[in-house]
Structure 1
Amino acid sequence: MSLPPIEIKPLSHVTAGQDWRLSLAHDRPEHVIIWVTRGQGRLLLNGTRRGVGTHNALTIPPRTLFSLELGRQGSGMMALIPDGTEIRLPTGPRQLRVREVTSITELTGIFEAAQREMTQGRALAQDAIDAHMALMSVWLRRQISQPDHLPIAMNAAARLSARFCERVTRQHADGLTMADHAAALNVTATHLTRACKAATGRTAADLLTERILYAARAALVETNVPAQDIARHLGFGSAAYFTRFMQQHTGQTPTALRKAAR
């Protein structure tokens, strides 16, 4: 079975005026490469929160929990590369703070050339995009190999937070309690909450809530699935409970959110 095509998008097109598409903790089925070209903000990645700024390159493997808050003045590009591609991409989540002018120019040029191929409709455009992504892979692996970009050592709280985030990507729709998640990780719910708060600034419950909220909003905006079916799929005991959850976290009912987005 053939893979979906690679996509190159400005971050402004990813959010389309709906900041939750990046700012809520979520994961994607594709490899995500983000190149921040302007602005600064906060990044959740690999179970930790850190600052992010201009000329930061982010590599996010499929089904890795992340969020990005850049603010209204921030801008950048995103590449979505299907899982299973033959392109040799980094296997782990990384944040690369790039300072060398030549390297900045190279990656910006790769993104711009790939985006031109997407928008101009030329023959063999997808082949050209694949070639540009292969060059991007080389660029990323060269950067990762440099001493300045060695991974940051994680303390015990960050390691536990990362393990919890992995569970959230797989089991956010299973209706599990914090006690269930903590037991699976061999810690108490209180310890799990403290570790996530120390590593991310969010409690474990906050991270789980954000992932569920992202899934709910995406389903309401992008599909015609009835709200009660979305509620059942996400582990809610009733449609009424799902409605209260959405009102609490967005100020609107599921029906109102769907109508406003369209």
Structure 2
Amino acid sequence: MSESLSPPVRLVAIPRLAAGGRWRVEAMRSISEPLLLWFTKGQGRITVAGATRGYTPHNAIFIPAGVMHGFEVGAQVFGTAVFFHKVSEMPLPAHPQHLRIREAPVQQELNQLLDQIARELDSATPGSDRAVRCYAGLLGVWLERHTARLGTDAPDAARRLVARFTALLERDFRSGMGIADFAGALGVTATHLSRCCRESCGRPASALLHDRVLFEARRLLSETDLPVNRIAESLGYTSPAYFTRAFGHLTGQSPSAFRRAS
């Protein structure tokens, strides 16, 4: 299928997102595509833009592109992740949304849309690409309607600060900046920033920073052939030895051992 006709969405079973290690979904990170998570079984916690909430079956969580997030995915968690490729083809929320869908007909409507999209994506019959675009458009309408009806409440001052922090962290986590540097850029003290992070997600600001850097380190070790010293440099560490000590302290493995295991 050519780029001009490439599907506007792709579907992945939520348990498959953790293939290769639960760190792939639980650690803080962001992706370049908007994401809709539809949980149909199980429960856990999800952190989006520094705010942590519990999720249960029939929760739909929309995460815009570039927004830092991570969520628990235990053995009993099932559902579908929808990655939006051609966002210009449909209106999508500008901010994260956590929708708790309690009405059975509304749950069924979303399930049917996802089933239809999956069926057409797997089909080789004429017109399947157009059918996917049509169903994806209806999915965008579903999300627009229920965001307007059930959308997340406006965040308080602490959550607004933490959302700004996670956006800045996503941009500059490779720079070697410490929490004092991030706090200064946000016009607050490091103590106040960490206090707000604890209120919003139960973790200090330093934990979010370490989690984001650690995810990128693991990703580079498992998905690239970059030497360890190059990875350390790309993540703002002053020396490979310091990176190796920090990685071992946080994971219990050296970077080389993690790479071999991956």
Same fold (TM over 0.5): yes
Q: Does structure 1 residue 66 correspond to structure 2 residue 69? A: yes
* 1:98-145 Cα shifts (integer Å, max 9, x gaps): 011111111112222222333445555444333322111100111112
Q: Does 1:114 align with 2:102?
A: no
Q: After alignment, is 117-126 or 89-98 more displaced?
A: 117-126
Q: Match of 1:59, SS?
A: strand
1:122 and 1:242, CA in 2 relative to 1: closer, same or farther beyond 3 A?
A: farther
Aligned to 2:131: 128
What residue in structure 2 maps to residue 208 of structure 1? 209
Aligned mates of 1:222, 1:243 — CA distance in 2: 18
Report the Cα distance in structure 2 between the residues aligned to 1:233 and 1:153, rounded to whole angstroms.
36
Q: SS in structure 2 opposite 1:176?
A: coil
What is the TM-score when the length of structure 1 is the normalising length?
0.92
Counterpart Cα distance in 2 of 1:226 and 1:189: 33
How far did residue 9 of structure 1 move?
0.3
> 1:154: which partner in 2?
155
Quickly say closer, same or farther: Cα 1:229–1:118, change in 2 above 3 A: farther
Q: 2:97–2:151: 8 Å Cα contact kept in structure 1?
A: no
Unaligned runs of 5+ in 2: none
- 2:88 alignment partner, SS class: coil
Change (3 A) 1:110 1:239: same
Whether 1:104 aligns to 2:121 is no
**Identity rate of aligned residues, in percent?**
37
**Secondary structure of the structure 1 residue equivalent to 2:215:** helix
| 1:78-227 equivalence runs, <5 A | 78-82=81-85, 84-123=87-126, 125-146=128-149, 149-227=150-228
> Any idea what SS the aligned residue of 1:34 has?
strand
Quote the Cα distance in structure 2 between the aligned partners of 1:87 and 1:70: 29
Which one-letter code corresponds to 2:47 in the other structure? Answer: L
Task: State the Cα deviation string for residues 154-188 of structure 1 (Å, max 9, x = none).
Answer: 22211111111111111111111111111111111
Deviation at 1:256, TM superposition (A): 1.6
Q: Does 1:53 align with 2:56?
A: yes
Which residue of structure 1 lines up, in the alignment, with residue 21 of structure 2? 18
- Provide the TM-score with structure 2 as the length reference: 0.92
CA RMSD of aligned residues (A): 1.9
Runs of 5+ unmatched residues, structure 1: none
- Pick closer, same or farther for the CA change 1:239–1:124 going to 2, 3 Å: farther
Alpha-carbon contact 1:35-1:55 (below 8 Å) kept:
yes
